[in-house]
Structure 1
Amino acid sequence: MEYCCKEFKVGKCEGEKVVDGETMPLVLQPPQSNKSDLESLILALKSNKDWFEQMIIKNSAVLLRGYDVNNAQDFNQIVETFGWEDIRYVGPAPRTHIYKRVWTANEGPLSQFIYYHHEMVLMKEFPKKVILFCEIPPPEGGETPFVPSFKVTEKMLEEFPEEVKEMEEKRLKYTFTAPGANDTSSMRGRGWEDTFGTSDQKEAERRAKAQGMEIEWLPDGGVRTILGPRGLTRVFEGRKGRRMWFNTVVGMHGKQISSAMMADGTEIPEHVVKRCEEIIEEESIQFKWQKGDVLFFDNYALLHGRRPSLPPRKVLVATCK
């Protein structure tokens, strides 16, 4: 698949990498300086929807840079151009609805590192695409690094073939505790009512079950969720048969409010988790934000996170099937 498309010019950005012959992210810019307005961008996207989606799958990340995208309304217009179906976020991250399909990204303290993950990786239904918009770039830090997931699988198989085989065969089980009310002091502080979109416990139980999780109500008003069994890796159609590291073992193993183990209760060795964390960091692409950037992730192919940041930083998000 060629990059050729007269409505866009291929550019470069700091931190990009060539992985298995593919540039991540693929940077697309206005073809001429007088084509940077939102209307020109929308027309270009409408005329090249299929090509653009193929670029997302081919390169795993596509960055629109140099366009006049100024606010949530502009961003929403870009998202809606493609006709992709919306998918409601379910998870621990505190978020606020901004406009139509647009939400804030994780509102946890900017001082905290948000660990690499596939969005909603533990849910039965998860987004195919995650789209991010930078309204206010941070003065320092605050990158949204991402990782080609198949590279993690490759290295883990090289270094821990037996451990990977055991986890793959036994599958995984996770637990997570959500508070009774939102806790904005934590990047995982979303209360159960916001998580499940209801204040009714029975309805919350029904929605949890639909997503493949069991829940236990705690005396303090919080809820403990049990998710499993879940797989370790996934292969998705159209992505060269690549085996994605489609789990959140590192992000949840041995944490204060979460755990990750094999589904039969076998513990995952600490040194395996630690080395996996190192591999993910080694394979990461340290993308830096500029004002007006719109970044499309193939959520099937990439893990992503957030570096600690100085304020202000405002990044908005939309998730699509």
Structure 2
Amino acid sequence: MESSCKYFKVGSCEGQKVIEGEAMPLVLQPPEGGSGNTVGLLAALKENKEWFEKLIIKNSAVLLRGFHVKNAHEFNDIVEAFGWEDIRYVGPAPRTHVYKRVWTANEGPLSEFIYYHHEMVLIKEFPEKVILFCEVPPPGGGETPIVPSFRVTERMLEEYPEMVEEMETKGLRYTFTALSKDNTSSMRGRGWEDAFGTSDRVEAEKRGKSLGMEMEWLADGGVKTILGPRPLTRVFEGRKGRRMWFNTVVGMHGNELSSATMADASEIPDEVVRRCQEIIEEESIQFKWEMGDVLFLDNLALLHGRRPSLPPRKVLVATCK
């Protein structure tokens, strides 16, 4: 941090962990003697773009706290300060466009737990960075837990080496069923028309194919999407050769609207999925949101989710290449 200490002070937060010598999340606050404001923050970020991006990769999560970011407009200014290319969200979560590159996070019921995932993990093109902004912190719960993905791989290899390698060799196959129209009473209630940005089935199929999906139309107007084969783990450049648990087996295995099997249709044992779920939870890191927090996540290195929350809670999101 030496080269940029005049711009930020390293802080801490409850729930922070140190993983292989790196704080997660790394907390950056206004410098000593400085009063936090968005104008000063924007100037600091623009002057230190490369340095800040290296921090995101090194620590996997960077939390900006104490800069009094007020709304979607100021959050969008922070996102755009880096010049990263936008990537449109594709997935089952109901979301609403707020301003320019800013969207609501999953609008499913706050009482439900959103399971850990890499954003858009099943799509051919997924974001490298997920950026979250807390406009209204929840009065209770509502944390966004994060999990260092490589730790899940390491522990699964320790306990189920043969099963892990079998899933890796065969690849994975997923299915998900979407209704025609949005159902905001479900955290996976985004309809296919909204997801694909069209009500034309031919065009939807074309767009689905470009994302690596096969589609089967259902009598009720919904659609079953099939994705696979997909890898179990991935290794990404610049991340110490770590083998990331880059899949959504636990989140989709054996659910009402979804399934996860090996690509040859052989089943993944329930015991393996349950133990993986336990390991992910054991490795989780969470802090309590404060008003104005901005959290940068390396989507290639971290799983993230959402704890059940008391209302109100307003967290906005931007996704970048």
TM-score (norm 1): 0.99
Q: Percent identity?
A: 77
For 1:242-261, list aligned pairs within 5 A. 242-261=242-261
Deviation at 1:150, TM superposition (A): 0.1
For 1:278-317, list aligned pairs within 5 A. 278-317=278-317
Residue 206 of structure 1 pairs with residue 206 of structure 2? yes
1:40-65 CA distance string (max 9 Å, x none): 00000011100000000000000000
Which residue in 2 is equivalent to 1:138? 138
3-state SS, counterpart of residue 264 of structure 2: coil
Which residue in 2 is equivalent to 1:76? 76
1:251-300 CA distance string (max 9 Å, x none): 00000000000000000000000000000000000121000000000000
Query: 8 Å contact 1:146–1:287 — kept in the other structure?
Result: no
- The number of equivalent residue pairs is 321
Query: Residues of 2 paired with 1:264 and 1:50: CA distance?
Result: 43
Residue 52 of structure 1 pairs with residue 57 of structure 2? no
Query: Residues of 1 paired with 2:4 and 2:189: CA distance?
Result: 44
3-state SS, counterpart of residue 141 of structure 1: coil
Q: Quick one: structure 1 residues 33 and 94, their matched pair in 2 at CA, closer, same or farther if it must change by over 3 Å?
A: farther
Residue 121 of structure 1 pairs with residue 112 of structure 2? no
Query: Residues of 1 paired with 2:3 and 2:225: CA distance?
Result: 44
Query: 8 Å contact 2:5–2:31 — kept in the other structure?
Result: no
Query: 8 Å contact 1:177–1:223 — kept in the other structure?
Result: yes
Deviation at 1:4, TM superposition (A): 4.9
Query: 8 Å contact 1:110–1:309 — kept in the other structure?
Result: yes
Residue 21 of structure 1 pairs with residue 15 of structure 2? no
Q: Which runs of 5+ in 2 are unaligned?
A: none
Deviation at 1:198, TM superposition (A): 1.1
3-state SS, counterpart of residue 28 of structure 2: strand
Query: Residues of 1 paired with 2:117 and 2:51: CA distance?
Result: 27
Residue 149 of structure 1 pairs with residue 157 of structure 2? no
3-state SS, counterpart of residue 163 of structure 1: helix
The aligned amino acid for 2:52 is F
TM-score (norm 2): 0.99
3-state SS, counterpart of residue 35 of structure 1: coil
3-state SS, counterpart of residue 271 of structure 1: helix
1:133-173 CA distance string (max 9 Å, x none): 00000000000000000000000000000000100000000
3-state SS, counterpart of residue 209 of structure 1: helix
Deviation at 1:6, TM superposition (A): 1.7
Query: Residues of 2 paired with 1:245 and 1:77: CA distance?
Result: 32
The aligned amino acid for 1:289 is W
- The list of structure 1 runs, each at least 4 consecutive aligned residues, that deviate by more than 6 angstroms after superposition, is none
1:154-212 CA distance string (max 9 Å, x none): 00000000000100000000000001110011000000011111111111000100000
Query: Residues of 1 paired with 2:75 and 2:2: CA distance?
Result: 26
Query: 8 Å contact 1:35–1:41 — kept in the other structure?
Result: no
Deviation at 1:131, TM superposition (A): 0.0
Query: Residues of 2 paired with 1:242 and 1:225: CA distance?
Result: 30
Deviation at 1:3, TM superposition (A): 7.8
Which residue in 2 is equivalent to 1:100? 100
Query: 8 Å contact 1:93–1:106 — kept in the other structure?
Result: yes
Which residue in 1 is equivalent to 2:219? 219
RMSD, aligned α-carbons: 1.0
1:18-57 CA distance string (max 9 Å, x none): 0011100000000045431111000000111000000000
Query: 8 Å contact 1:62–1:296 — kept in the other structure?
Result: yes
